[in-house]
Structure 1
Amino acid sequence: MNKDNLFKDGISLTPPDLIRYEHTLKDLIQEFLPFESYSLYFPKPAKGQFRAELSFSYNEEEGELLLPLRLRGRGLCYFIARGVKLSSPDTTPPYLEALATCSLEKILLYKTSITDKLTGMATREYFMTKLVKELDLIQNCMMPAPGGCKDPGIPTFSGSVGVVVLDLDNFQRINDRYGYSIGDDIISNVASYISDAVFESVICARIFDDKYAFLIPDGRPKVCARLAEELRALVESRPVEDPVTGDILKITASAGFANYPQSLSGPHFKRSAEEQSRILMRKAAKAVATAKDSGRNCVFAYSDILKRGGKVLEILPLQRLALSIGHSVDAREGGRFLVWSPDYQSGTQVNLTEDERISGSYPTMYKAEIVVIEVQDEIAFAEILHLSDPAWPVTEGDRLTMLDEKDSFFDTQAGPESSTAPQRDIVTGLYNYKEFIGRYSRKRQNMDKFSVAVLRLAANPAEQGGNFQKLTDAQVQKVASRAESFFDESCMGGRYSLNSLIYFFPHEESDSVMEKILRLVRECLADFDIDLAAGVASFPFLNYRRSEILDNCRKGLDHSLMMERPMVAQFDSVSLNISADRLYVDGDIYGAIEEFRLALLADSDNILARNSLGICYAQVGKPEKARKQFEHVLEITPKNIMALYNLGWACQMLGNRDRAREAYEKCLELEPENVFSLVRLGVLAEQDLGLDEAEKYYLKAAELKGGDSLTMRHLARLAYARKDVNKAREYLHLALNANHNDAHAMNLLAQLYLESGEDPQIAEVLARQSAALKPSRNEFWETLADTLDVQGKKDEAKKVRSRI
């Protein structure tokens, strides 16, 4: 709930609301009062007063009118209109004030419609609307760079957003035992103190009964994890006493979060912002469900579900298991997991003497290693590769921990071939997965060169109707039969999963294997109408170990699924590009750098990889290395706009403004409507050529599509430098209307409110938001400290300055 509400028993407008809805208010007032320019003024209350006394004022000579904005008898602020001509200044004021109040009532009505009455939070509908808008803005304001990279020096949207969902645990039991009235009180109270705990920029909503959601601008995974844990701990720390029975009710909550774009995968990005918002919410809800399934009162990230949130659902014949992970959490065939029992996670205590006691907890003991052989939407099926102890079987409810193949227990036990009969797949006659991996691990150990290929049915047979497994088996059998007709006898094949096959080619290089796989894919399409995708990887390749080739093959398969027919990809520089882009989107910039460097080792002319590597270098504070990469790209493709712009950015970071200006001007020669280059030239002109020259660039950029959101803050800065405070304020409000997360605009607006002697609480709200959005900017914290000083909050201001 808002602490500044004017009325405790209902929804009302606050000063921050007036700033938020300022443009709506301006349009409503302009319907009955023509004016040339305007501003809001929040007078500082007199000493001992809660609100300043407001009175109508009109200066006919200067055409300036101070219109009090009152709601239900309480003064909020002045609407200052300039360029006003009143024909009847003596009789008009009461009517203007009444019409202004009607405008406020309209805004209040809208606020009421988007506010949950019980909690004072936003409604689910409003939350989803804001989430859709956030995703839409991010999509429209991405810089032209791989992985969605953008120029952090330009006030576009952050390119990231987080959604945290908090769900009270076992809350229905409280309703059933103590009544819905106390349940509502708890929901309301929890909403109140968790809303107070988050930053102003976070949108808080009640999305269902006892479930809350939080939309976090620039919400990267670490930020969301920290907020989710703080809210969970806050709920746990506030027990509730039942006034009737005196019972103390301990309230706990489970939290989950998902991030955009990190939690979405390739096909999701082709959908609309509306679809993506629902996918993101579903993923956050999946994380909450996993938290509850893992014992409640904990936090789960969507990205952690696959790593440590799965469990065994059912024990099947032939050492197979049904698992709680599927395509919905990005599970893949071939993924390996360790199985452990949650029953052995408790502690133990031993009394040495009457006064001395020692305690400890059992280390995690793994029962088995398993491999995923089939993945469906919500579940997967796996095969047991290795049991730690045959007397300790896997049971329903056992938990899963994801395992890197290089750490596999199964692989390290590869020894001489067993004398027992090999285990074969009934449908294809090829080795089953476990048998294939065991033989492959042994045979590759001392081999100088070899290749591996994985083939997958590109179309889902289930879409054709009928029995899914029967159709899949029939198609896989045809593929295996055709492969056997022209693959060498030395080639070893296996059933990799329900819809895929794997082949090992000893002593063969990738080019000859690629020819065979391409022939197989084409023949299966022509003769059987079976569409296949295939990935091929070989050893030796760069500095990869033999044990890493199968993973490279899977990356090649991912690459192939993004291609046109024939969908066959050899693991190469492009595959590494795709893998690096995924690391970049996940926030692992250093991991992306390593993959991009490997891509360039494989192909030094890979322009996309080199440009992306330069972007990564710039983002980790190595502009000189970035500059060299962009210059290398331009040696190969002199008209590469992306590289030209990024070169200008790197030179600007290095302080070489002349070289930066030259790069941006070349961008404009190739693309005259390149908004970002115009803004950058405006910034350089502001530093070297003067305000008038900078204004030309900004105004030109503002006329182009998407330019208004990029230029308003810069134009406000120019107006501020020219001492035109009213124009600066107007531009800043336009900037925030275009991008409500523009921290720089918020900070400058807070300074304007502070310098004008208005209510410093308004400046404080804006300063807090800007500092929350950009905590690394020391000047934002200084502005916040100044607003606290003015209000006499010296101790709090001192704490804020200690962060600088």
Structure 2
Amino acid sequence: MPPAARRPLSFQDLIRFQELVKPPLRKALGCARIDLLPPPGPGEPNQELLHNALQNGRAVLDLGGGRLLIPLLDGARPLGLLAAHGVSEAQLPDAVRPFLAALVETSLTLVRSRLAAQRDALTGLGNEAALDEALTSAAARLTQAPPTGRLALDGEGQGEGLTLVAIRAQGLAGWQERHGRNLSDQVLGELARLIGEAAPQALVTARVGQTFFMLLPGSVQAARRAAEALQRSASKLRLEGARRDPWPVSLSLGASHLGHRGAGPACDTAALLKLRAGRALLAAERTGQEELLFFQEIAEKAGQVQEVMPLDRVLINLGRMHGLTEGDRLAVREPGSPPQVSKAEVAVSKLGAEESLAEVVSLASPASPLRPGDVLRRLPPQDASAEEPGHRQSLSLPGGEVAVTLEQATGALERRSLMAVYAALCAAGEPLAAVVLGVEDLESVAEVTGRLGAEALLAGLTEAARESFGPAALLGRYSPEALAALLPGVEAEQAAQAAGATLDKMREQGGRPVRAGVAAHPRQGFTVEQTLYDAAKALVHAGFLEPYSVVACDAVSLNISGDAAYGQGRLAEAVAEYEKALLLKADENNVLNSLGVCHGRLGQMEQAAECFRRAREVAPQDYMAHYNLGLALLRLGRRDEARTCLERGLELEPEHADTLFQLGCLAQERGRTNQALNYLQRAAARADCKKAVHCRLGLSLAAAGQGAQAEAAFKEALKHNPRDAAALSGLAGLYLEREANLDIALSLARRAMQQEPGAVQHPLTAGRILLKLGRARQALDLIDDALERHPRERRLQELAELAQEAAQA
């Protein structure tokens, strides 16, 4: 690993610190817009001026584009270019050009200085300052999503966001103690290299002490894949100490994930991501897990008994910060035993922030007492009538007498008691309103002000709710960050007014923003048991609105809930939510669209098409309804109808990349090459185009005889997906036509055959290349194998005859 000070600059460095590079030139040239461009690749068309600027190291005026191209060089190595728009030739006398070069070098020196200040000297990765800056910047870019999604039937990138992964080598401290700092530094350097290779897409990689961090864009699944790649690479390292005793490298990995939208101010969101990743790492180390452990999985995968105490009590390593609530039940088993074999069951009796006390509810055998290190697994909630640990009070309710426990911090019902009260009220079947009041990002409050500060905030919310809702209200802890109010005999409008009064009191007090969700029974088509949960869904809906918003559960709330279930792959649950939303508003086109997408993903394409038709009738100007209906009809084989829908969608949104892509594919199928090229080139020019567009574009360009452009398109396709069989085979075919790079062409065709062994095009291409190379016997063997799978394929039969003749010649 080269020392940090000598690490060469990269284009990514310029992107990261572009505000150090652009302003001096913007001021010197008096222009409002300066773009940062990457160096053009070899052979890219229409890039002559960019190449000239980089090769000569001098600014070039692009008269046609109305811009000045300023090269950015690290020594003689091109980094990129600045394109300053609106610069005239009169501004560039000969004396100005050396001044521009000096200004650029000064800007690059500033970038190098900033990098040196934020780089770890040992590994070349970022230091803690770089990590914090990258976290805050990434969190600031997370945008508030619209309250209702616009799902596409072929949508990509569900569940995108940010994942921060914390990594530590197990046993490194002991290795350093035995063999000294030099060898442990070698380990850290090797790990830094492996992390960079496993996660080239990382927004930042950093080292803080013996802990590494990588910030990854994208989904949870993408982070798991990167972690698995890193574990595989690390397991192959075999480092030897001074006495040649080998040390197999094993990693512990913890992570925290944030979806598409932030949780409050960017600095708080960044601190929360970092805090949770660290907690997940500690939990993974404590339990010896080698797979990536996410913060939200700690309660299910990393719970342990810390200490066995008198009077059948145990101290456990889980608390409110891990999503635990008072009364939660946990199964206890010995380490290494099957998950279904439990030795005891415990229930949380005193909830702490990170540790809790639990009481033994049942013990399988007195001969197998609980021991420190026993593994915990959270159990699903019991029936509300189940016995509850702790001090009891009794409430007389319409549904009967209920024993309850009050929280010490707030005086409200703890979670399990709240659910027991709720069950009793539901059993009575009388009118009921429920309000859920949520404090925005309470966990970061606990991090800044401590547990007492967070509890004081909740206590203040409870007191404000008591004043607003009145003495008949039953208040209890719904979740670690939310309070619930159960209001027997109250209607939705009255409950919303009281919730608004509570939020007004909290606004006057200042502090964290609070929001509220409201639902009430009776509602046509809904049971009383859904009321509290629908209030919680309304609270999620309120989270998309301004602070101190009150939302009564409506079709939008249920649409958001359905979208959340859809994003997590729970399609049947999403369908149920969308159908309930339609009970509240039958003509909600976003809900109809989302329901159609779910049916499509479940393979129920006729139902999907019907939903999209209804969405189109409700909102005929919504291009997404036309697009999704077109896709459903395509999958039903009704191509003419599909093309009509897609064309109408394109009229409404002329630059929708996915519509252009689908129309381009349809034009390809019909042999209309020029039309396909028009659609696909327009789609490829869009930043949000499907990655598959490049392969399709390459096929059309090749059919049009534009070999150089087709080659560039195939290479772009392989950059995004190295396993794209059609692009591999298409590029091989281009090389064959040019009779150039035939060995490379054969390798590409064989890789295509490996990816799609059942496709006929790939052995055809490989066979022709083998014939061109004079290897007729190999070509004949390959074609004979393909004929066994495709005995009636005429093209293979003709190629087999040619190969037979060549082999006999």
Assess same fold via TM > 0.5.
yes
Corresponding residue for residue 669 of structure 1: 651
Corresponding residue for residue 380 of structure 2: 404
**Structure 2 counterpart of 1:247, one-letter code:** D
Corresponding residue for residue 252 of structure 2: 254
Contact 1:369/1:410, CA 8 A, preserved across alignment: no
- Counterpart selection for 1:605 from 571, 578, 587: 587
Corresponding residue for residue 662 of structure 2: 680
CA deviation after TM superposition for structure 1 residue 728, in Å: 0.9
CA deviation after TM superposition for structure 1 residue 550, in Å: 3.9
Alpha-carbon distance change, 780 to 180 in structure 1, aligned in 2, over 3 angstroms: farther
**Structure 2 counterpart of 1:268, one-letter code:** G
1:653 aligns with 2:635: yes
Contact 2:475/2:485, CA 8 A, preserved across alignment: yes
Corresponding residue for residue 487 of structure 2: 505
- Counterpart selection for 1:727 from 693, 703, 709: 709
Unaligned runs of 5+ in 1: 2-9, 12-20, 35-109, 348-359
Alpha-carbon distance change, 384 to 616 in structure 1, aligned in 2, over 3 angstroms: same
Unaligned runs of 5+ in 2: 2-6, 9-37, 53-111, 396-400, 791-809
CA deviation after TM superposition for structure 1 residue 743, in Å: 4.0
CA deviation after TM superposition for structure 1 residue 630, in Å: 0.6
**Structure 2 counterpart of 1:716, one-letter code:** G
Contact 2:254/2:278, CA 8 A, preserved across alignment: yes
CA deviation after TM superposition for structure 1 residue 292, in Å: 1.1
1:368 aligns with 2:346: yes
Separation in structure 2 between the aligned mates of residue 145 and residue 764 of structure 1, nearest angstrom: 49
The alignment's TM-score, normalised by the length of structure 1, stands at 0.62
Contact 1:411/1:441, CA 8 A, preserved across alignment: no
CA deviation after TM superposition for structure 1 residue 757, in Å: 5.1
Cα-to-partner distance string for 1:597-625 (whole Å, 9 max, x where unaligned): 33334443332222112122323433322
Separation in structure 2 between the aligned mates of residue 184 and residue 785 of structure 1, nearest angstrom: 51
Please give the residue correspondences for 1:759-778 in structure 2 after superposition, counting only pairs within 5 Å: 760=743
Alpha-carbon distance change, 726 to 122 in structure 1, aligned in 2, over 3 angstroms: farther
Contact 1:312/1:324, CA 8 A, preserved across alignment: no
CA deviation after TM superposition for structure 1 residue 641, in Å: 1.7
Alpha-carbon distance change, 712 to 147 in structure 1, aligned in 2, over 3 angstroms: same
Separation in structure 1 between the aligned mates of residue 272 and residue 597 of structure 2, nearest angstrom: 29
- Counterpart selection for 2:597 from 611, 615, 620: 615
Alpha-carbon distance change, 527 to 413 in structure 1, aligned in 2, over 3 angstroms: closer
**Structure 2 counterpart of 1:670, one-letter code:** L
Query: Which is further off, 494-503 or 416-425?
Result: 416-425
Alpha-carbon distance change, 481 to 157 in structure 1, aligned in 2, over 3 angstroms: closer
Separation in structure 1 between the aligned mates of residue 457 and residue 185 of structure 2, nearest angstrom: 53
Contact 2:305/2:372, CA 8 A, preserved across alignment: yes
Separation in structure 2 between the aligned mates of residue 268 and residue 184 of structure 1, nearest angstrom: 36
Contact 1:521/1:566, CA 8 A, preserved across alignment: no
- Counterpart selection for 2:283 from 287, 290, 294: 290
Separation in structure 2 between the aligned mates of residue 420 and residue 728 of structure 1, nearest angstrom: 74
RMSD: 6.4
Contact 1:145/1:642, CA 8 A, preserved across alignment: no
1:747 aligns with 2:725: no
Report the 3-state secondary structure (helix = DSSP H, G, I; strand = E; otherwise coil) of the residue aligned with 2:498. Answer: helix
Report the 3-state secondary structure (helix = DSSP H, G, I; strand = E; otherwise coil) of the residue aligned with 1:364. Answer: coil
**Structure 1 counterpart of 2:728, one-letter code:** N
Contact 2:436/2:484, CA 8 A, preserved across alignment: yes
1:758 aligns with 2:741: yes
Corresponding residue for residue 55 of structure 2: none
Query: Which is further off, 411-420 or 524-533?
Result: 411-420
Cα-to-partner distance string for 1:380-431 (whole Å, 9 max, x where unaligned): 5868698447999999977653443356794799999599997556787665
Alpha-carbon distance change, 234 to 687 in structure 1, aligned in 2, over 3 angstroms: closer
Alpha-carbon distance change, 177 to 296 in structure 1, aligned in 2, over 3 angstroms: farther
Cα-to-partner distance string for 1:158-192 (whole Å, 9 max, x where unaligned): 96898876542112322331345555666788899
Corresponding residue for residue 560 of structure 1: 542
Separation in structure 2 between the aligned mates of residue 745 and residue 122 of structure 1, nearest angstrom: 39
**Structure 2 counterpart of 1:307, one-letter code:** E
Please give the residue correspondences for 1:167-316 in structure 2 after superposition, counting only pairs within 5 Å: 167-180=168-181, 182-183=183-184, 208=207, 221=221, 225=224, 228=227, 232=231, 242=241, 245-256=243-254, 263-265=257-259, 267-268=261-262, 287-310=280-303
Between the two proteins, what is the percent identity of the paired residues? Answer: 20
Corresponding residue for residue 345 of structure 1: 335
Please give the residue correspondences for 1:146-165 in structure 2 after superposition, counting only pairs within 5 Å: 149-150=151-152, 152=154
Alpha-carbon distance change, 785 to 224 in structure 1, aligned in 2, over 3 angstroms: farther
- Counterpart selection for 1:631 from 607, 613, 626: 613
Alpha-carbon distance change, 659 to 411 in structure 1, aligned in 2, over 3 angstroms: farther
Separation in structure 2 between the aligned mates of residue 212 and residue 785 of structure 1, nearest angstrom: 47
Contact 1:667/1:677, CA 8 A, preserved across alignment: yes
Alpha-carbon distance change, 745 to 632 in structure 1, aligned in 2, over 3 angstroms: same
Separation in structure 2 between the aligned mates of residue 759 and residue 256 of structure 1, nearest angstrom: 47
The alignment's TM-score, normalised by the length of structure 2, stands at 0.62
CA deviation after TM superposition for structure 1 residue 495, in Å: 5.8
Please give the residue correspondences for 1:71-90 in structure 2 after superposition, counting only pairs within 5 Å: none
Separation in structure 2 between the aligned mates of residue 554 and residue 201 of structure 1, nearest angstrom: 39
Report the 3-state secondary structure (helix = DSSP H, G, I; strand = E; otherwise coil) of the residue aligned with 2:258. Answer: coil
Separation in structure 2 between the aligned mates of residue 662 and residue 550 of structure 1, nearest angstrom: 45
Alpha-carbon distance change, 766 to 778 in structure 1, aligned in 2, over 3 angstroms: same
Alpha-carbon distance change, 299 to 450 in structure 1, aligned in 2, over 3 angstroms: same
Contact 1:145/1:612, CA 8 A, preserved across alignment: no
Corresponding residue for residue 515 of structure 2: 533
Alpha-carbon distance change, 201 to 430 in structure 1, aligned in 2, over 3 angstroms: closer
CA deviation after TM superposition for structure 1 residue 305, in Å: 2.7
**Structure 2 counterpart of 1:481, one-letter code:** E
Contact 2:167/2:213, CA 8 A, preserved across alignment: yes
**Structure 1 counterpart of 2:335, one-letter code:** Q
Contact 1:337/1:400, CA 8 A, preserved across alignment: no
Contact 2:746/2:766, CA 8 A, preserved across alignment: no
- Counterpart selection for 1:596 from 578, 587, 593: 578
Alpha-carbon distance change, 298 to 574 in structure 1, aligned in 2, over 3 angstroms: same
Separation in structure 1 between the aligned mates of residue 360 and residue 335 of structure 2, nearest angstrom: 22
- Counterpart selection for 1:483 from 443, 446, 469: 469
Alpha-carbon distance change, 515 to 722 in structure 1, aligned in 2, over 3 angstroms: closer
Cα-to-partner distance string for 1:685-704 (whole Å, 9 max, x where unaligned): 22236111222333445566
CA deviation after TM superposition for structure 1 residue 301, in Å: 3.9
Contact 1:202/1:214, CA 8 A, preserved across alignment: no
Separation in structure 2 between the aligned mates of residue 744 and residue 290 of structure 1, nearest angstrom: 42
Separation in structure 2 between the aligned mates of residue 145 and residue 765 of structure 1, nearest angstrom: 46
Contact 2:318/2:354, CA 8 A, preserved across alignment: yes
Separation in structure 1 between the aligned mates of residue 378 and residue 236 of structure 2, nearest angstrom: 33
Contact 1:373/1:498, CA 8 A, preserved across alignment: no
Alpha-carbon distance change, 704 to 543 in structure 1, aligned in 2, over 3 angstroms: closer
Contact 1:457/1:499, CA 8 A, preserved across alignment: yes
Corresponding residue for residue 718 of structure 1: 700
Count of paired positions? 659
Alpha-carbon distance change, 762 to 545 in structure 1, aligned in 2, over 3 angstroms: farther
Separation in structure 2 between the aligned mates of residue 411 and residue 204 of structure 1, nearest angstrom: 50
Corresponding residue for residue 56 of structure 1: none
